[in-house]
Structure 1
């Protein structure tokens, strides 16, 4: 099978460079560093601060911390330009959902989240720093990911589940995570999208759902920002249909195929494109077909529970007793189809199925072992919550998660949400369930699409050939068409100017040193 790079190389390089340079600028530029400290100290003007320092840079935020004499602390979080393609929206969504979770779980299964002190849009931001959130600092010893992962991981390497964890300990750690998943599933509204709080203190879904994958395909898949939704959804089927369309738009827009070596035969490349387009047309077909849809959408009209795309063990902070101290990183959280919550979490092995070095089938074998432990832990959490009257019998997730995995619904949810993983999943885990069995070996799985061509509509076949011809024509000639936000564009310009100024200063200092050295040599 011909394989293409998952991300656009040029977009990846630009994003990575900003990810490295921007936090360094905030840490080392005296004026910017002081401005950030002033923002925090003024926000807590009634407290005396004892320490202000750079805290960390993750995948989407750079954080600074201030500590006070009362042993409390605060964090200011700035969205990373180049990684967050919708910074204003990201900050608003995160601040809003944290407030919602804090309010709505107080009398249910509690989820410890940091209290939001203030969040600021770019137009209100001092020193042109852009949008940010100020929140309480959660004291912690590490993350749940630290407790679950294999020890000795090098920086930059993805985590993997520690195979030496005792079953009882693994169950206990999974149990802490299960409580959060269970609690989120009990919070629901009547539309799919991002939340807002009304003037009368009621909550409503008023904004589009901004997902992890939507941000990612604009950042690294060269999809124009204008192709993303601008609306909320009242039915799960409508949202799934949009996700199916997004897969097609992504494939049409991404220029990663331009990175394929020039000696790859054009017809081989064309068939690879056709295979990908056929998969996406068929996925859209099973979403649109009402009879097929009935097999995996059971709650089309909602209500729709809160769903966090980026919820995973690394974002769950733990204290000295290995209990949860707080849950952070809520930026890609929205109300979503019930079926998302009914699928078991992908992160039980910590590593995604498409990244598993021994292949998808082996991932499934290892995942099923971990899943059995997780479902036992979830069942115990449900029993405890029902006993405390925080949950009713019909709200259990454990049996629904077991069914989702057994039926294969898990893979539909995963493929729908993960654009860059779609091609690793569809043919092996979705196609034969809905369109009939076919025999293949791993080395010729790429030929299955030929047996499915008769299932496409005539218009789809014509459109596919049109797209394939365009891609072949543009092969190795495309230039990056990146669609960053104004925040990112502004920081790229500032970083360039500051880099030039630094280089000029360094050159001037070198000239002065050489001049001084020559003078000393003459005096000798």
Structure 2
């Protein structure tokens, strides 16, 4: 699905104003702002990095201490203050309740003295992000995996990622949604999740398809049915969500097929099992330091989610989302090779953790050991569930949960077709309903094209 370029352009003026202010404050003003969180000790700005959603600046103090100041970018992050709040909850939880390496939180605020908005300061982790280490071309965002990755380093990384996933799997929540970030109660799920998908649909689709302030979801079924409605709302509300009449029919049927197949992907055992999950769990958000220790540095779009999403095979093993795999011959085969390597390590690490849990009194006290020992059989272990997810097609269904503009990717649906007992021919949509939808969307598309042409003409005049 194409982006709504009119909606995307509508954010430019606001972002440009913010960016101009941000640029004007580089150097002494930002350094002074940071120094006040360390008794006004002088510091110096070292560098600026721009990510997908944040500007990050490095600062150094005279004694060698280094911090990272991060400002989320307005109009890149659509629900600015709320998103920062919803990242801080999981951040605090992981720092306090797990052994996962993530930078310590120094300070944060929903506004600053400089007029730049919400911010966070963390300790600086020295090293390189995994994507820069492993990409074929580190300057190309969609570059693929290098073929000459050191196998020993790969094993070290895989082992640490395996333990991160296993650690997350041991922590349970009672509902699906965002974690509170309040100091007094940092562990409660207080509202619906604010997902990366919701942000992107609003940012480049111009569609607000959920109220993230409503109550959390009580079951996996409730949540997945809601995601199905989100998919349909996106198609209905974005003016240029179709290319032509045939495309409109295909996309409408796909969304109804997703809704129809959802019950078959919900297990009774895990319908009420929720754990921490990150939509943006990918190589660019992990830093490997000089001691080959892995740090999870960016926890945006993290929330309590259905357990089934956590044990889905890692989609980042090739550094590219699965909808890109069909573009290069052999990528699917390469994924299977990487998955087998990762899965073997996961089995080893899980076995080690389970053996340790048997004699870990602290684990017994918080109920983790007892819970995990119930699933000692390979069939119900985390690693067993991950393999099953790939074999029975849950992996591909989980991709559809997270996709927005690539939801209709033919490669993804071809994989779904191989595992699902349902097909488009099983979806019963009244002919009148489908024809009405197509006619309505074609009219909207024509309106959009006229408006888009007018926008282009105005832009050309402004540049002349």
Task: Please classify the TM superposition score into its range, dividing by the shorter chain length.
Answer: 0.7 to 0.9
- Residue 428 of structure 2 corresponds to 456
Task: State the distance in 1 between where 2:184 and 2:70 align.
Answer: 28
- Residue 459 of structure 2 corresponds to none
- In the alignment, which of 107, 113, 137 is matched to residue 102 of structure 2? 113
Task: State the distance in 2 between where 1:317 and 1:170 align.
Answer: 13
- Name whichever structure is richer in helix by fraction: 1
Question: Does residue 228 of structure 2 align to residue 244 of structure 1?
Answer: yes
- Residue 340 of structure 2 corresponds to 372
CA contact (8 A) 1:49 1:66 kept: no
Task: State the distance in 2 between where 1:93 and 1:480 align.
Answer: 39
- Residue 55 of structure 2 corresponds to 62
CA contact (8 A) 1:214 1:228 kept: no
CA contact (8 A) 2:93 2:186 kept: no
- Residue 272 of structure 2 corresponds to 301
Residues 202, 416 of structure 1: CA spacing in aligned structure 2 closer, same or farther, 3 A cutoff? closer
Gaps of 5+ in 2: 358-362, 364-368, 453-461
- Residue 214 of structure 1 corresponds to 198
Question: Does residue 386 of structure 2 align to residue 401 of structure 1?
Answer: yes
Q: Secondary structure at the match of 1:307?
A: strand
- Residue 26 of structure 1 corresponds to 22
- In the alignment, which of 352, 355, 362 is matched to residue 384 of structure 1? 352
CA contact (8 A) 2:176 2:304 kept: yes
Residues 404, 127 of structure 1: CA spacing in aligned structure 2 closer, same or farther, 3 A cutoff? same
Gaps of 5+ in 1: 261-268, 438-448, 483-499, 504-524
Q: Secondary structure at the match of 2:168?
A: helix
- Residue 155 of structure 2 corresponds to 171
- In the alignment, which of 207, 230, 243 is matched to residue 223 of structure 1? 207
What aligned pairs does 1:131-146 form with structure 2 within 5 A after superposition?
131-138=118-125, 140-146=126-132
Measured against aligned partners, the alpha-carbon deviations of 1:383-408 in whole angstroms (never above 9, x if no partner) come to: 33234337644374221111100111
- Residue 32 of structure 2 corresponds to 38
Measured against aligned partners, the alpha-carbon deviations of 1:74-122 in whole angstroms (never above 9, x if no partner) come to: 22211111210011011111122111101111xxxx1111222222124
Residue 367 of structure 1: how far off its partner (Å):
1.1
Q: Provide the TM-score with structure 2 as the length reference.
A: 0.85
Measured against aligned partners, the alpha-carbon deviations of 1:254-298 in whole angstroms (never above 9, x if no partner) come to: 23357x5xxxxxxxx2121011101101111222x4xx355x564
What aligned pairs does 1:322-401 form with structure 2 within 5 A after superposition?
322-324=292-294, 326-356=295-325, 358=327, 362-389=330-357, 392-393=372-373, 394=375, 396-401=381-386
Task: State the distance in 1 between where 2:451 and 2:201 align.
Answer: 12
Residues 352, 237 of structure 1: CA spacing in aligned structure 2 closer, same or farther, 3 A cutoff? same
Report which of the two structures shows the higher radius of gyration computed on alpha carbons: 1
Residue 35 of structure 1: how far off its partner (Å):
3.7
Indicate the larger mover: 420-429 or 341-350.
420-429
- In the alignment, which of 282, 287, 293 is matched to residue 312 of structure 1? 282
CA contact (8 A) 1:317 1:327 kept: yes
Length, aligned pairs only: 436
Residue 242 of structure 1: how far off its partner (Å):
0.6
Task: State the distance in 1 between where 2:153 and 2:47 align.
Answer: 34
CA contact (8 A) 1:241 1:284 kept: yes
Residues 480, 34 of structure 1: CA spacing in aligned structure 2 closer, same or farther, 3 A cutoff? farther
Measured against aligned partners, the alpha-carbon deviations of 1:416-466 in whole angstroms (never above 9, x if no partner) come to: 1212222115531224644457xxxxxxxxxxx4x34xx3254xx544333
Task: State the distance in 1 between where 2:28 and 2:184 align.
Answer: 38
- Residue 435 of structure 2 corresponds to 465
CA contact (8 A) 1:286 1:434 kept: yes
Residue 349 of structure 1: how far off its partner (Å):
0.6
What aligned pairs does 1:285-300 form with structure 2 within 5 A after superposition?
285-287=260-262, 289=263, 292-294=264-266, 296=267, 298-300=269-271
CA contact (8 A) 1:237 1:297 kept: no
Task: State the distance in 2 between where 1:180 and 1:217 align.
Answer: 29
- Residue 494 of structure 1 corresponds to none
Residue 319 of structure 1: how far off its partner (Å):
1.4
CA contact (8 A) 1:121 1:132 kept: yes
Question: Does residue 280 of structure 2 align to residue 280 of structure 1?
Answer: no
Q: Secondary structure at the match of 1:206?
A: strand
Measured against aligned partners, the alpha-carbon deviations of 1:112-149 in whole angstroms (never above 9, x if no partner) come to: 11222222124xx31322111122222x1212223332
Task: State the distance in 1 between where 2:12 and 2:100 align.
Answer: 33
Q: Secondary structure at the match of 1:330?
A: coil
* RMSD between superposed Cα atoms in Å: 3.0
Residue 59 of structure 1: how far off its partner (Å):
0.5
Question: Does residue 57 of structure 2 align to residue 71 of structure 1?
Answer: no
